[in-house]
Amino acid sequence: MKTPPVLEELSEASLEASMQRRAEIPPTVLIERTERWRDRDGCFGRALAAEGMSVIAEYKQASPSEGSIRDATPETIAELYAPAAAISVLTEKSRFGGSLENLAALRELTDLPLLRKDFITHPYQLLEAKAAGADAALLIASKLDTPELQLLREYAEAFGLDALVEVHDREDLDRAVRASAKIIGINNRDLRAKGLPTNTVVTGRLLDAVPQDVIVVTESGFGLDPDSRQQLRKYNARGVDAVLIGTELMRSHDPTAAIELLKKLGCSRSTAGNRFH
pLDDT for the residue 4: 67
* The pLDDT of residue 277 is above 60: no
pLDDT band at 215 (very low <50, low <70, confident <90, very high): very high
Active-site choice (11, 18, 92, 117): 117
Give per-residue pLDDT as tens, 51-63: 889 999 999 887 7
Reduced to 3 states (helix: H, G, I; strand: E, B; else coil), residue 65 is coil
- 58 an active-site residue? yes
Per the annotation, the verdict on 166 as an active-site residue is yes
Establish whether 187 is a catalytic residue: yes
Going by pLDDT thresholds of 50, 70 and 90, the confidence category of residue 270 is very low
pLDDT value at position 2? Answer: 63
Active-site residue (options: 92, 128, 219, 248): 219
pLDDT(274) > 50? no
Residues 11-50 have pLDDT tens digits of 998 999 999 999 999 999 999 999 999 999 999 999 999 9
CA distance 125 to 118: 9
Q: Per residue in 77-115, pLDDT tens?
A: 999 999 999 999 999 887 888 899 999 999 999 999 999
Q: pLDDT band for 67, please (50, 70, 90 cuts).
A: low
pLDDT level of residue 190 (50, 70, 90 thresholds) = confident
pTM of the model: 0.92
Distance between CA atoms of residues 126 and 55, nearest Å:
23
CA distance 165 to 126: 13
C-alpha distances out from residue 88 to 5, 60, 98, 107, Å: 24, 8, 11, 12
Structural domain boundaries in the chain: 5-263
Supply the pLDDT for residue 7.
80
How many helices (DSSP H) and strands (DSSP E) are in the chain? 12, 10
Among the listed residues 180, 182, 171, 148, the one whose alpha carbon sits nearest the alpha carbon of residue 46: 182
Q: Is 219 a catalytic residue?
A: yes
- Amino acid present at 195: G
Strands 62-63, 67-68: pairing kind: antiparallel
> Do 88 and 117 meet the contact criterion of CB atoms below 8 Å apart?
yes
Choose the catalytic residue: 88, 102, 187, 228: 187
From 18, 63, 102, 220, the catalytic residue: 220
List the CATH code of the domain at 5-263.
3.20.20.70
Residues 188/198, Cβ–Cβ less than 8 Å: yes
Mean pLDDT of all residues in 200-210 = 96
Active site residue 117: yes
Mean pLDDT, residues 223-245 taken together: 94
Q: How confident is the model at residue 267 (pLDDT cuts 50, 70, 90)?
A: low
Q: What is the pLDDT of residues 157-178, one digit of tens each?
A: 999 999 999 999 999 999 999 9
pLDDT at 235: 95
Which secondary structure element, helix H or strand E, spans residue 243, and what is its range? strand 242-245
* Contact of 180 with 150, CB cutoff 8 Å: yes
Mean pLDDT of the chain: 91
